[in-house]
Chains A and B, each alone.
Chain A
Amino acid sequence: MPQLSRRSFLQAAGAGLFVLGTHRGNDAWGQRQDQTVLSGSHFELQIGEAPFNFTGNQRIGTVVNGQIPGPLLRWREGDSVTLRVSNRLGARSSIHWHGMIVPADMDGVPGLSFAGIPSGGEYLYRFKVNQSGTYWYHAHSRFQEQTGLYGPIVIERRGGERFPTERDYVVMLSDWTDLDPERIFSVLKKHSDYYNFGRRTAGNFFADVRKNGLSQTLAERRMWGQMRMNPTDILDVSGYAYTYLMNGVTPSGNWTGLFSRGEKVRLRFINGSSMSFFDVRIPGLKLTVVAADGVDVEPVSVDEFRIGAAETYDVIVEPKDDRAYTIFARAMDRSGYARGTLAPSAGLEAEIPPLDPRPLLTMSDMGHGGHGASGAGQMDHSQMDHSHMDHSQMSHAPADPHAGHASPGPSATVDHPPTERTPLMDMRVDQPNVGLDDPGVGLRNNGRRVLTYADLRTIGGPIDRRQPGREIQLHLTGHMERFVWSFNGQKFSEAQPLKFQLGERLRITLVNDSMMTHPIHLHGMWSEVEDASGNFQVRKHTVNVHPAQKLSYAVTADALGRWAYHCHLLYHMEAGMFREVHVEPGEGVAHHEAHGDHS
């Protein structure tokens, strides 16, 4: 298709004239509808650059074997694989196998695992695949992930899938930008709400006055004003900068997965984006979630789920009708969407639903929720009037269900470390929300059954039933205006590594002292999420923490070496929300008993 007609369509699309119901052909945009699949035990991967045109403007993307996303790697549980990764970029590069339990020198984080792959050089990754499910890979070097260096991994379960299906598709979501990511980062440092085109306006004020009355509207505006926070700060980078892709295809390109009526279709959702959360639904179909972060869970049927950056969910659908269904993945701030189609034949389309209204953070998202939070004396905005706020949207677990109980659940207290006295933080939460059953901002009470972590139960239990021997409380901290992000108020450059003793079972309790949702990823070891009482819930590699939420998971430190631990929002990580975890042999803990010894 000639360049000109592509441009002119995109100009129309840019003006908001999305045309429904017309078939534009699969390859009209030069985008791949088919995924390259590489399987076997040896893989040759070349990191390089290639021109791409997702928006009407040609840009250079960072590619693996010429593609965005990179080729789908199919491994088999139990196989040993080798991957020769060569780097044809002008800069140092790397590939991290996200969620894979591999030796530290195979984990792909420059500076911690290895020295990175120099320009023109190569690195031979070699490890044994001891797990199965849906994972992904991505660069761990600067903004190369943002510019395209990511791809899916599917590992065949030995003995076959626990939940067999007739069809099996990877649905990889990502956020493409025509902008230079360095520019995005520097703009966020200068003008952190630059990409927010969903701010509350004077018009919203008058609409709220009509709806809620003047005094309530003023009281609500006063609370946010006193905090100097903005309830529309949902995502730092929005659809203003991003074109959301599904398997590397734009919404108008319409990636399509085929099915025959009555078939079971497995969709392996991977959020390979740099800065985006997606809320996914397929109007007309129930989604049966069967795996989270590669690990099988007891099937749970929902209408919708939120997927944070780096998370994966396997979902089974059973289309009963001979028609097209829209896979609709909206950015959490409703500034755009990725879209594809499940259809009995290529070229069919279903209606694209309207975007929900843009969500607003509530006072519970700021730690002003239930549990008598008005007594939160330490908060510098505690004098606010909460009486008019709608707290009913949140469901809260009891603040401390096991006070005085023998069960050693996560500690009920919130201890702000002295390092949180930094000026580079804009809020602290003394009465965090506990419990896993909050679907999160924008998904509460929307009339649909929305997945929460409380619904996820890993089949087969934890990898280690020992009670955690100690608890590390870490606070997710930052400053919206200054665009600084950190743990415990310390940026990576200011913090010492967290030390884990080889073989120990410990608990990490995260307290989100910010108004953003953070997907927290520990390399090398599983994060076994617990409920508020300390009972095992679900095994994950990336754990979303809602604003003002307190959440715990247990970790078995059975992976010797230096590991990355960070927020998987790429610009948060670059701004300092990163720690090193160092697993070292300790006294009295034999290496061989590192795993599974709990007599």
Chain B
Amino acid sequence: MSALIKVHITLALFAAVASSAAAQDEHQHHAHHSDEKTESERAHVPPDPPQHQMGDMSEAEMAEMMDMDDTALFGMVAFDQLEWRDTNEGNALAWDGRAWLGNDYDKAWFKAEGERFDGDYEGSAELLWDHVFSRWWSWQAGVAHDFGAGPSRTWAAFGVQGLAPYWFEIEALAYVGEEGRTSARFSAEYEMFLTQRLILQPKLEFKLYGKDDPANRIGAGFSDAELGLRLRYEIRREFAPYVGVVWSRKFGETADLVREHGDEVEEAQWVAGVRVWF
């Protein structure tokens, strides 16, 4: 211990001498010959070696001790749409929600969308694994379940989700079901900032089917498309009421099946709702 103190005193003396010398020639140091130490070289004192070294520990122990974990899980629940729809036959409640839990690379996703009309529910729910594979894209794979007035269908789902150039948010998934059924769904949405809080969001969705499913009034081919335009006001980023208009249309054999039942193949609806997330 006393040796340590001596070292300190010696260093202090040395530093004091260095410092006073430095004060004298601080205006000349540029001119000095290169083998003379700079003022900073004389003044700088490296730290003593540590008396206690931290040993190695596992990544988990380290994260706990540092209270810093860049692999931590985060989660989110969001309803992009939770809305009342003014349909030709009456009012309907519609939703498009998602929830995820995971880290920077892998997330579990749950997506649900559908409509409640006249006491009946129709829609889909998907449980997907999401893995980031490029700067802007992740693949998703899992199961999907469609339900409604007709028989329910269960699918294996696989596809991509991400951000295309110009900030189009894209979802494109393919589905394979029982009895050789196949389907594909695509959606693209965009956000246009009218002000910092008033945001116009166009969204385009369409579906294709590989096989007729008359019980669900679906024909093979390009079956239906929906174009929505919603104007929201973000009271907070997490809470934004909106109004909008949604135009939807059935195509091809699906349209024929719908017509056979005397329903409309094309419809424009007013919508009003709220976008929430937490």
List the interface of chain A (C-beta within 8 A of B).
Answer: 77-78, 80, 91-92, 101-106, 109-116, 127-128, 130-131, 140-142, 158-159, 162, 186, 189-191, 194, 197-203, 222, 225-226, 228, 423-426, 458-465, 479, 481-482, 484, 491-493, 524, 526, 539, 556, 558-562, 573-576, 578, 591, 594-596, 599
Contacts and interface: CB of A to CB of B under 8 A. Distances in A.
Interface string B4-42: 000010011001100110110010010000110111110
A109 B54 CA distance: 11
A573 B68 CA distance: 8
Interface stretch (B55-63, B116-124, B152-160, B223-231): B55-63
A186 B102 CA distance: 12
Most buried by B among A80, A130, A225, A426: A130
A191 B237 contact: yes
Interface stretch (B129-137, B207-215, B265-273): B129-137
The 9 A-B residue pairs with the shortest CB-CB distance in the complex, in nearest-first order: A460-B39, A461-B38, A558-B46, A576-B70, A225-B166, A105-B50, A463-B44, A130-B45, A104-B50
A103 B53 CA distance: 10
Nearest to A91: B67
Contacts of B262: none
Contact of B167 (A197, A228, A463): A228
Nearest to A140: B66
**Which of B11, B41, B132, B166 has the most C-beta atoms of chain A within 10 angstroms of its own C-beta?**
B41
Nearest to B132: A423
A460 B22 contact: yes
B151 interface: no
Given A423-B135, A461-B40, A595 B71 contact: no
Interface in B190-237: 192-197, 237
A197 B68 contact: no
B196 A198 contact: yes
B16 to A, nearest CB: 6
Contacts, number: 195
B74 A190 contact: yes
A78 B166 contact: no
A198 to B, nearest CB: 7
A78 B18 CA distance: 12
A493 B72 CA distance: 11
A113 B196 contact: no
A189 B73 CA distance: 10
A259 to B, nearest CB: 27
B48 interface: yes
Interface of B: 8, 11-12, 15-16, 19-20, 22-23, 26, 29, 34-35, 37-41, 43-54, 57, 59, 62-63, 65-71, 74, 76, 104-105, 132-137, 163, 165-167, 192-197, 237, 277
Contacts of B41: 461-465, 596
Nearest to A200: B193
B65 A111 contact: yes
B193 A202 contact: yes
B132 to A, nearest CB: 5
B23 A159 contact: yes
A72 to B, nearest CB: 24
30 contacts: A77-B19, A103-B48, A104-B50, A105-B52, A106-B47, A109-B66, A111-B57, A113-B54, A128-B11, A128-B45, A128-B48, A130-B43, A131-B43, A159-B19, A202-B193, A203-B194, A222-B166, A226-B166, A228-B163, A228-B167, A423-B134, A460-B40, A460-B43, A461-B40, A465-B38, A482-B132, A492-B68, A539-B40, A561-B50, A562-B54
B195 A201 contact: yes
A576 to B, nearest CB: 4
Contact of A103 (B39, B49, B132): B49
Contacts of B29: 460-461
Contacts of B69: 493
Contacts of A203: 194-195
Contacts of A481: 136, 163
B34 A460 contact: no
Contacts of B51: 103, 105
B160 to A, nearest CB: 13
Contacts of B19: 77, 158-159
B136 to A, nearest CB: 6
Contacts of B194: 201-203
A194 B54 CA distance: 39
Task: Count chain A CB atoms within 10 A of each CB in B15, B62, B104 and give the residue with the most.
Answer: B104
Contacts of B237: 191, 194
B54 A459 contact: no
Contacts of B137: 423
A199 B193 contact: yes
Nearest to B34: A465
Given A186-B74, A465-B38, A560-B50, A197 B45 contact: no
Contacts of B104: 424, 482, 484, 491
Contacts of A106: 47, 50
B74 A201 contact: no
Contact of A493 (B63, B135, B136): B63
A111 B61 CA distance: 8
Contact of A114 (B34, B38, B49, B54): B54
B168 to A, nearest CB: 9
A556 B26 CA distance: 22
A595 B45 CA distance: 8
B107 to A, nearest CB: 11
Contacts of B46: 101, 556, 558-559, 594-595
A458 B29 CA distance: 12
A91 B65 CA distance: 11
Contact of A142 (B68, B193, B277): B68
B65 A116 contact: yes
A574 B68 contact: yes
Nearest to B36: A465
Given A426-B135, A461-B29, A493-B70, A78 B44 contact: no
A482 B237 CA distance: 17
A190 B277 contact: yes
Given A191-B237, A460-B38, A463-B40, 11 more contacts: A109-B66, A111-B54, A112-B54, A197-B197, A423-B137, A460-B43, A482-B104, A484-B104, A492-B70, A524-B47, A596-B44
Contacts of B20: 159
B149 to A, nearest CB: 36
B15 A78 contact: yes
A484 B104 CA distance: 7
A593 to B, nearest CB: 11
A127 B132 CA distance: 47
A559 to B, nearest CB: 5
